[in-house]
Chain A
């Protein structure tokens, strides 16, 4: 398919959508009629797309029980409050655990009886954890920047 044919085809596709969804002008409707009359492959596709529209027109999203709306608003506010609570608990917990871990490592390293191999293992675990955290953070940042959906988001 050359560029001219591709452009014609894209035009035909757009016309089929616009007519199918009744978002076209009278001229566009005539333009599609002419294309359908002149080109059998477009006529065949137009028939298939109309069939799809006929089927989807008989479908709808299932409605939930009405009772859920009674609790909905309150649940949203509770959820917002809970997330603030979780954030505080997580931050506080992380600081406390980090502090406790640091004190424990400090005591182990200062203890002359601790074998050198154990001290080395502790160092390896600490460095490994830091590397893992940095790697996960970098991956998250990379994914966030390349997220195909986020590019469409306009705030």
Chain B
């Protein structure tokens, strides 16, 4: 398989096919991360495609020696944050509810105890609603850790902050989720 670096070098030289291959390689990841940030499938699709389109237009500024996805992610997160800044859009997304973007993990087996299953379902619903209310930067880090399962240093590289900042944002986000769960009890 051709390396990112080689594809980036070809894309820089104007090879649309090479850029298409980079798109195919990272489209799922970009979509998932946009979904985690904006909480709507349609908007995540739109924003992630827009990020690739902007990257395509700016492909001549790509550096083959730097990771392509980290560069793309800067465009993507900027688009997502701008999107979330629009209060009307945000209200619409919240109205759709977390079920539009969050799912039970595939490993979750059906419970034999219906009461426990109900309890878990309510806890998930509360946590999902609390995630939607998180400040964008905390939500970003939480999604990258919990749902994308990235390491702290990978998140730090993507977001462009020190590892300590990643951990403190994560702590703050989880504390807010804990409060939402506490209210439930």
The residues of A with any CB-CB pair to B shorter than 8 Å are 10, 13-14, 16-18, 20-21, 23, 45, 48-49, 51-53, 55-64, 68-69, 72-73, 75-77, 79-80, 83-84, 149-150, 152-155
Q: How far does the alpha carbon of A35 sit from the alpha carbon of B102 in the complex, in Å?
A: 35
Interface residues on B, range: 35 or more
Interface centre among A13, A49, A53, A56 (most CB of B within 10 A): A56
Contact string against A for B residues 15-59, beta-carbon threshold 8 Å, 1 for contact and 0 otherwise? 010001001100110011001100001000100011011001100
Q: In the complex the two chains form, is B127's CB within 8 Å of A69's CB?
A: no
Q: In the complex the two chains form, is A80's CB within 8 Å of B108's CB?
A: no
Q: In the complex the two chains form, is A60's CB within 8 Å of B104's CB?
A: yes
Does B77 lie at the interface of the complex (its beta carbon under 8 Å from any beta carbon of A)?
A: yes
Q: In the complex the two chains form, is A56's CB within 8 Å of B53's CB?
A: no
Chain A interface mostly: helix
Q: How far does the alpha carbon of A154 sit from the alpha carbon of B16 in the complex, in Å?
A: 25
Partner of B105, one of A49, A58, A76: A58
The residues of B with any CB-CB pair to A shorter than 8 Å are 16, 20, 23-24, 27-28, 31-32, 35-36, 41, 45, 49-50, 52-53, 56-57, 71, 74, 77-78, 81, 100-108, 120, 123-124, 127-128, 136-137, 143, 145-147, 151-152, 159-161, 164, 167-168, 170-171, 174-175, 177-178, 181-182
Partner of B103, one of A57, A61, A83: A61
Q: In the complex the two chains form, is B124's CB within 8 Å of A55's CB?
A: yes
Partner of B45, one of A52, A68, A84, A149: A68
Interfacial chain B residues near A79, Cβ < 8 Å: 49-50, 52-53
Q: In the complex the two chains form, is B45's CB within 8 Å of A69's CB?
A: no
Q: How far is the CB of A89 from chain B (nearest CB, A)?
A: 16
Partner of A61, one of B27, B32, B124, B152: B32
Known: A48-B181, A72-B23, A154-B160. 6 other contacts (CB 8 A): A10-B168, A13-B167, A23-B152, A73-B20, A76-B20, A150-B78
List 6 A–B pairs whose Cβ atoms lie within 8 Å, in order of A's numbering: A49-B178, A55-B120, A55-B123, A56-B127, A149-B136, A149-B137
- With contacts A52-B174, A80-B57 taken as known, whether A62 is within 8 angstroms of B35 at the C-beta atoms is yes
Interfacial chain A residues near B167, Cβ < 8 Å: 13-14, 17-18
Q: How far does the alpha carbon of A21 sit from the alpha carbon of B182 in the complex, in Å?
A: 21
Q: How far does the alpha carbon of A55 sit from the alpha carbon of B106 in the complex, in Å?
A: 14
- With contacts A64-B31, A150-B78 taken as known, whether A76 is within 8 angstroms of B103 at the C-beta atoms is no
Q: How far does the alpha carbon of A155 sit from the alpha carbon of B160 in the complex, in Å?
A: 9
Q: In the complex the two chains form, is B152's CB within 8 Å of A77's CB?
A: no
Interfacial chain A residues near B161, Cβ < 8 Å: 152
